[in-house]
Amino acid sequence: MHILIIDDEKNIRQTLSGILADEGHTVSLAETGEEGILRLGESLVDLVFLDVKLPKMSGIDVLKQMKKEWPSVDVLMISGDSDINTAVNAVKIGAHDFMEKPLSLPKILIAVQNITEKRKLFQKCIIGDEKIDFRYRIIGHSPQINNIREMIRRVAKTDAKVLITGESGTGKELVAYAIHKTSLRSDNPFITFNSAAIPNELVESELFGHEKGAFTGADRQKPGKLESANHGTIFLDEIGDMNIDAQSKILRVLEEGKFERVGGNRTIDIDVRVLAATNRNIEEIIKNGTFREDLYYRLNVVPFYLPPLRERTSDVPVLLEHYLRTYSNELATARKHFSGAAMDILKNYHFPGNIRELKNLVERLYILSDKDEIDENDVRQNLAFPKSMEQSILKNILHEDTYSNAKRVFETYYFTEKLKLADWNISRLASEIGVLQPNLSRKLKALGISVPDNNYYTKLNFIKE
């Protein structure tokens, strides 16, 4: 924790500072109430030891101002006078406890430990820590996933910035949380912030907080997500959608560890690890002028790429088993299983929504199906097979003037969908439909069907043909 000691007695300040620093806390000192208020405005403080009797501004006055401007800061009042009325008044205003001088070392350590535990429990309530570990498990045994686990193990030991890229639904937040949970910051907050989910005009206020009167409706000071993550980790999801002004402020946090709230002019120091993610092509949006190149290089110290599910199909059965068990427990229903034919369909399905689509499918099947065995008909009815698209293709075929044009429309649709189910593996598809691979490759070229860039080896074979 960051602890501020406000006391006009030098011996008290030095003694407390030494004790608390030995316990691993960051300590700041102030001799007067005015100086203490200044320190609170300069950096994020968790706990204040506050003397009741101070020159000019009294400890009670400081406490009142603190509870207005920094209500989340805990306060331990200390005094050389055993005035019960003052103690009761301080607690009513919002002090955590009242301690008499001469201070007792055991009582100090117990009080600080209690406040530390209280703050940790509060953060757990905010982020739902009781169930979060299970919800954030990374499932799979494919080489890609094992490689990601190894990268997490290596990068978690450091405070290096990480940029996680990949399609929507591939599990970017899971990786961010795993990095945090295995880091030295694991006992501190893990806060997520999604730029795409918030209107542009509110992004800075939500992320950096705002001062009272900063804009219409700002009737009180409000700390932002960044302050909530102090000493911990902030995960900036969909950072590719963040506006340029907010990007500039994040860049300053990365470079200097400083920021200002919206409508404020006080610079606040912060100690936070930044992890970021996006499903967009960062290089492309840099060219478009909507993302800062210097911010990209600051974030991309350790790049993580999460492959889509279609590139690690060996993990599909493992994921299905995991979510079958999950929803059986959550929905308190009998355990279901997939038939062999249903499993074959899912293994070959393209999963455009990746793990999120697979997870939603299992939940939907648990809710809608009364059977213990989920068969191929259940799967086909609930997968995102585009029936409307199929109907549209049929209409297009019927509206073609010539047989050759209609045949081309059908073949284009047929081979494209078949390739998706075969993970764009031309050799596999040729074998499945009983066509020689060279003939299939020539047919695909004639129809203008190309293999996606991320299927490098398949595309190489396609070109050779």
pLDDT band at 133 (very low <50, low <70, confident <90, very high): low
Rounded to 5°, the CA angle 279-280-285 comes to 160
- Range in 126-135, 263-272, 413-422 with the lowest mean pLDDT: 126-135
Q: Give the model's pLDDT for residue 124.
A: 54
**Amino acid at site 305:** Y
Q: Is the pLDDT of residue 437 over 50?
A: yes
pLDDT band at 395 (very low <50, low <70, confident <90, very high): low
Last residue of a domain, one of 126, 159, 176: 126
Last residue of a domain, one of 276, 307, 338: 307
Q: Is the pLDDT of residue 294 over 90?
A: yes
Domain that holds residue 445: 387-464
The mean of the pLDDT values for the chain is: 85
Whole-number Cα distances in Å, 350 to 342, 375, 441: 14, 19, 20
Whole-number Cα distances in Å, 391 to 382, 385, 403: 17, 12, 18
Residues 329 and 361 in one domain: yes
Residue 438: asked if its preceding bond is cis (omega within 30°), the reply is no
Residues 340 and 453 in one domain: no
Residue 41 burial by CB count (10 A; 0-12/13-18/19+): exposed, middle or buried? middle
CATH code (residue 119): 3.40.50.2300
Last residue of a domain, one of 290, 307, 324: 307
Q: Is the pLDDT of residue 207 over 90?
A: yes
Residues 280 and 331 in one domain: no
- In 10 A of CB 64, how many CB atoms? 14
Distance of alpha carbon 22 from alpha carbon 201, whole angstroms: 44
Q: Give the model's pLDDT for residue 256.
A: 93
Tell me the two tokens of residue 432.
């499945």
Residues 277 and 399 in one domain: no
Distance of alpha carbon 323 from alpha carbon 340, whole angstroms: 17
Residues 269 and 338 in one domain: no
pLDDT band at 296 (very low <50, low <70, confident <90, very high): very high
At 292, give phi and psi (nearest 5°): -75, 130
Residues 413 and 456 in one domain: yes
What is the number of alpha carbons within 13 Å of residue 462 lying toward its C-beta? 21
Among residues 64, 69, 32, 63, which one has the least CA distance to residue 48? Answer: 63
Residues 233 and 344 in one domain: no
Sign for the pseudo-dihedral over CA of 138, 139, 141, 145: negative
Taking the complete model, does pTM exceed 0.85, yes or no?
A: no
Q: Give the model's pLDDT for residue 160.
A: 94
pLDDT tens-digit series, residues 231-269: 999 999 999 999 999 999 999 999 999 999 999 888 888
- Range in 82-96, 211-225, 257-271, 315-329 with the lowest mean pLDDT: 82-96
Q: Give the model's pLDDT for residue 394.
A: 65
CATH code (residue 186): 3.40.50.300
pLDDT band at 306 (very low <50, low <70, confident <90, very high): very high
Q: Is the pLDDT of residue 106 over 60?
A: yes
Residue scoring higher pLDDT (137 or 316)? 316
* Tokens 């203490």 -> residue: 36
Distance of alpha carbon 298 from alpha carbon 251, whole angstroms: 8
Residues 364 and 344 in one domain: yes
Q: 141 Cβ partners below 8 Å, 6+ apart?
A: 314, 315, 318
Q: Count the domains in the chain.
A: 4
Residues 101 and 87 in one domain: yes
Residues 87 and 20 in one domain: yes
Q: Give the model's pLDDT for residue 302.
A: 95
Q: Is the pLDDT of residue 456 over 50?
A: no
pLDDT band at 221 (very low <50, low <70, confident <90, very high): confident
Q: Give the model's pLDDT for residue 333.
A: 84
Cβ density class 421-450: b for 16+ within 10 Å, e for less: bbbbbbebbbeeeeeebeebbeebeebeee
